[in-house]
């Protein structure tokens, strides 16, 4: 029995020594890991003209965790970021890489729970707070790629973010006639979600889900885009070839087309948007807004606004501009009311040759506005139905977008004045045109329109 107790005591002592060694090593590596991360963050901040104001990091390699109690990146003239109460968990592979080489290597598999994340746009006076967020990232990111965005596109990335609550703050909301209680309702969002995936092999970025919702707004977006990296020498060579091969008139016409969208430019490299496909849905509940009189208008309200859109375009490598492949749009607005302040009403009156807003007040009431567009390159069609206090209008049009400037092949616009001021304005327009607009049995004027968008013909 004594021998057994002696062996057990030795075994227990040995286990305690091993545990003490493990925890001591974990403590040492945790301090070193926290210090290395702190140095990396300071370096990233300095190279991007940010100041690292607050930082408190604790790490536990044995549990694969890093706790960030406080992190604050500040730039007094641009943007600032703050992080509070974040618990980040790494993969064992990253911990092994750190033990072996003293730093985190390429492949990352990170999950995090964040109590609060704040973003400040100091130039636009925008402020966002994200509460109780979960984040997961798989990819190949390191401190060097964070410093240089063009390095990010060399590797794969997958990012998922979800927040229980997002609060948007804009300090000048009262200037638009919004009360504090009303602003708090329309600026607090729930169920925020963002899901993105980037594949370096084909330089394709896909946002599978972007959603923002509350009582006032229901916003959803997903898109797919392909990027293109180009050096300055390639850009100059393309421009020289383009100028030499194209007539002057065609070159001037090309300038009116949508130019190349540069997402990032540094030294002799550029990152361009090559392809884009998107699906966009927006629904606004205007009955939630209660705007009071302000410096812009005496009254502003609407019942509902709905917008659905499908869009696709690609960069024509020869013409160096974008080709719209398809663009479907459905827009609905109901019970819209707008009464402008006197100074803005006077501007409307002056622009309408002293006919509209003669009493010093311009009022627009739209009972319903419906616009439908369907476009599949190169042909498209659109329909408009407007019912308002100023004018009722209906439009049916067909257009062609095979050239740089859209061409309306056929279009019939029917409209009817709803008050005397608009009738006077229409009569004045007929005098300027030197012709009388034709009216049908219901009293609608009819106008046929065709030609290039920059040089339309009317009949």
In whole angstroms, give the CA distance from residue 191 to residue 287. 21
Q: Is the pLDDT of residue 8 over 80?
A: no
Quick check: 421 and 355 in contact, CB under 8 A?
yes
pLDDT score for 28 = 63
Q: What angle do CA 266, 270, 252 make, to 5 degrees?
A: 120
User: What is the value of pTM for the model shown?
Assistant: 0.80
Confidence of residue 2 (pLDDT cuts 50, 70, 90): low
2 forms bridges with which residues in the sheet?
A: none
Quick check: 422 and 390 in contact, CB under 8 A?
yes
Tell me which of 34-38, 158-162, 336-340, 365-369 is least confident: 34-38
Tell me which of 61-70, 116-125, 131-140, 184-193 is least confident: 61-70
Q: Is the pLDDT of residue 105 over 90?
A: no
Of 352, 328, 370, 358, which Cα lies nearest the Cα of 428?
Answer: 352
The half-sphere exposure of 191 on its side-chain side, counting CA atoms within 13 A, is: 9
Quick check: 334 and 307 in contact, CB under 8 A?
no
């Amino acid at each position: 029995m004594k021998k057994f107790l002696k062996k057990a005591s030795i075994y227990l002592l040995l286990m305690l020594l091993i545990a003490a060694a493990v925890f001591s090593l974990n403590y040492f590596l945790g301090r070193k890991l926290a210090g290395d991360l702190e140095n990396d963050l300071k370096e990233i901040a300095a190279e991007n003209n940010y100041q690292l104001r607050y930082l408190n990091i604790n790490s536990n390699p044995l549990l694969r965790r890093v706790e960030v109690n406080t992190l604050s990146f500040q730039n007094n003239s641009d943007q600032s970021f703050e992080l509070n109460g974040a618990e980040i968990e790494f993969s064992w592979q990253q911990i092994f890489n750190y033990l072996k080489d003293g730093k985190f290597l390429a492949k990352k598999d990170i999950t995090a729970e964040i109590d609060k994340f704040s973003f400040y746009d100091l130039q636009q006076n925008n402020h966002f707070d994200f509460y109780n967020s979960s984040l997961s990232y798989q990819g190949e990111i390191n401190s060097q790629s964070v410093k240089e965005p063009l390095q990010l596109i060399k590797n794969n990335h997958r990012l998922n973010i979800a927040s229980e609550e997002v609060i948007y703050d804009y300090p000048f909301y009262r200037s638009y006639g919004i009360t504090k209680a009303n602003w708090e309702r329309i600026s607090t969002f729930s169920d925020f979600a963002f899901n993105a995936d980037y594949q370096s092999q084909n330089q394709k970025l896909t946002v599978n889900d972007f959603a923002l919702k509350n009582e006032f707004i229901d916003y959803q977006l997903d898109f797919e885009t392909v990027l293109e990296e180009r050096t300055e020498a390639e850009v100059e060579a393309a421009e020289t070839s383009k100028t030499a091969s194209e007539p002057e008139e065609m070159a001037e016409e090309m300038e009116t087309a949508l130019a190349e969208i540069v997402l990032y430019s540094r030294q002799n490299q550029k990152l361009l948007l090559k392809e884009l496909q998107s699906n966009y849905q927006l629904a606004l509940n205007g009955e939630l807004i209660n705007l009071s009189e302000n410096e812009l208008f005496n009254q502003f309200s609407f019942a509902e606004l709905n917008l659905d859109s499908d869009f696709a375009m690609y960069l024509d490598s020869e013409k160096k501009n974008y080709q719209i492949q398809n663009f479907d749009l459905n827009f609905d607005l109901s019970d819209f009311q707008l009464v402008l302040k006197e100074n803005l009403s006077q501007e409307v009156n002056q622009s309408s040759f002293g006919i509209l807003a003669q009493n010093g007040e311009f009022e627009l009431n739209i009972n319903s506005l419906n616009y439908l567009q369907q476009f599949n390159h190169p042909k498209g069609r659109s329909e408009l139905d407007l019912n308002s206090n100023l004018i009722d209008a209906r439009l049916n049009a067909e257009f062609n977008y095979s050239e740089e400037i859209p061409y309306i092949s056929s279009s019939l616009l029917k409209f009817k004045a709803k008050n005397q001021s608009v009738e006077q304005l229409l009569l004045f327009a007929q005098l300027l045109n030197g012709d009388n607009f034709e009216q049908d049995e219901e009293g609608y004027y009819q106008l046929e329109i065709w030609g290039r968008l920059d040089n339309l013909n009317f009949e």
